[in-house]
Structure formats: structure tokens, C-alpha cells
Amino acid sequence: MRTIDEIYNSLLEKKTTYPALDILNSTSKVAIWNLILWIFAFGIFVHEQIFDQYKKEISVLIEEEKPHSSRWYRNMALKFQYGFSLIVDDDQFNNNGFTDDQIESSKIIKYSAVTESDDQSRLIIKIATETGGVLQPITDEQKLAFEFYLSEVKDAGVQTTVINFLPDKLQLFLKIKRDPNVIDSNGVSILNGNEPIKDALLKFMKELPFNGELVLNSLVDRLQIIDGVVNPHLIVAKTAWIDAVVGDYGTFENIEISKIPVSGYFEIDFENSEIEYVV
């Protein structure tokens, strides 16, 4: 993407190729011919920006509509409408006679991520819904309907596994060196009465993309900028996820550097975490 200055300089170079324009030689920044060049430079700049954005949008559309890609399967998961029937021999739902609100409410899958299995020829489709701002799995009945939908729209021969788990549990063990004038010994803001460290942790997890990688250094960086926090020290972070065989959480394991949640999202287990505030 060219800058306005680059475009202006290219117009100046072009001007030198026309001898009839040599009389336009004023060095004043407010010379009419100079101002006209700047106006043209700005117009070209805006024009190039529009085309650049258009190219990006077209690239995204092509990628999202490209069959067989992971992005295509993710979009198909998000398009699932619970309670609606598919049009015969099509991957679109029959929405005739329904309101926009009814159609939108039927799209129960709010988050999805699709990856390829490391050891099998299979697509792993992680999904979650959201209620009151909290991510959670869809019901067993809804999952059954979704899996039937997948069998209708997926490519022949493609094997899929749907991950519809409760969130991975995350335990954090922190030692926070605090400014006693700002945060008390219980981690409460003296001025506002809230718990800024816990609030920041919840916000950080909320902003983490679905199936995004939790990077421990990034989490510590977020705590570092809180007013009243002198030095945040993460002693250890542990996580556990649903064991599909037993249908319950497995053993908690230490996170070394980063971790992608098996379910696609985390939930901080504050009850079994520990945050110590020191001076």
C-alpha cells in the first residue's frame, strides 16, 4: 500500500516528462498546481485503499466458500439451525415462512473450530454455544441433530468427530506483589471495591479466541498493567479436560508454556486456584 507522499512524489516525477508543465516551478507548498497534485494524490490513495480492502474481502470469501477446507466446515457448523429442515439435495435450510428472529435463534452453535486429527484421517469439529455470556456445550439432543446435519452436508468419505465438551478447567497459582495503597491483602481495590486481578483474568479468558492458544506469558503481561500490581508471579498453571471415555475430567496437568484447550475454551477453577497477595 503506497503512502500519500509516495503517490505525490510519483506524480511529480510524471510531471517532469511533460515539458509544457515546466512553467509550474513554484516551490511554495500552497501553489495551486502543488495543491492540485496533493488532492489527486489523496484521491488515488483512497482509491487504492478501497481496492486493497476489496481484494482482502474477496480472498476471505473465496477461502470460506472453498469446499473441503477447514474454514468451510467451520462455517457450515455455525450455519446449523436447530429445529429446521434442510432443503432436499442442498446444504441450505428451508427458512420460508420464518422470521429473522426465529432463524437467528435456531443457530445455536455460536463458536466452532475445525482441525485435522494428528493420527487419523479425520476432522475434529469443536463447538460451543453461549448463554448469558458464558460458553457451554449444546445438549445431547442438539448434538445428535447437529451430527445428522453434518452427515448430510459433509463430503463423501470424510470422517468427523464432534467435540462438545464442558470447558477445560484451568487452575492458577499466583503470587502478586501489590502496592498496599491500592490493593489490600485480599486482592480488593481500596478505591473501587472490586478484585482487579480476578476481573483481569476473566476478561483475558473471555478475549481468548475459541480454540485459541493460552500463552502464559501473555496472561502475566495482562496482570502486569493492573494499577496496584507491582510484580505478578505465576508459580504454576494446571489444566484438565473431559476424558471422553469416562465422561469426566481427567488428571490436572501442568502447562509449560502454552496450551490449546481440548474443548475449545477454558474456565478458571477459582475454587481450587490460589492467589497470594504480598507486599
215 and 251 housed in the same domain: yes
Q: What is the pLDDT of residue 110?
A: 95
Q: pTM higher than 0.75, yes or no?
A: no
Residue 113 is predicted with a pLDDT of: 94
Q: What is the pLDDT of residue 68?
A: 67
Question: How many domains does the chain contain in total?
Answer: 3
| Domain closes at, from 125, 144, 163 | 163
C-alpha 201 chain-centroid distance: 17
Percent of the chain at pLDDT above 90?
61
Measuring CA to CA, how many Å separate 58 from each of 72, 147, 169, 235, 272? 15, 30, 39, 46, 48
Say whether both 90 and 142 belong to one domain.
yes
88 plus 45 within the same structural domain: no
Residue 51: band (very low, low, confident or very high) from pLDDT cuts 50, 70, 90: confident
Domain endpoint, select from 163, 198, 217: 163
- Residue 120's pLDDT is 76
Looking at the fold, whether 212 and 190 belong to one and the same domain comes out as: yes
Minimal CA–CA distance to 89: which of 152, 33, 22, 162? 152
Q: How far apart are CA 273 and CA 30, in angstroms?
A: 66
Give the model's pLDDT for residue 60.
65
pLDDT over 60 (residue 66): no
Pairing relation of β-strands 258-259 and 214-215? antiparallel
**Domain hosting residue 47, numbered range:** 4-65
pLDDT classification of 64: cutoffs 50, 70, 90: low
Cα dihedral 47, 52, 58, 62 in deg (nearest 10): 160
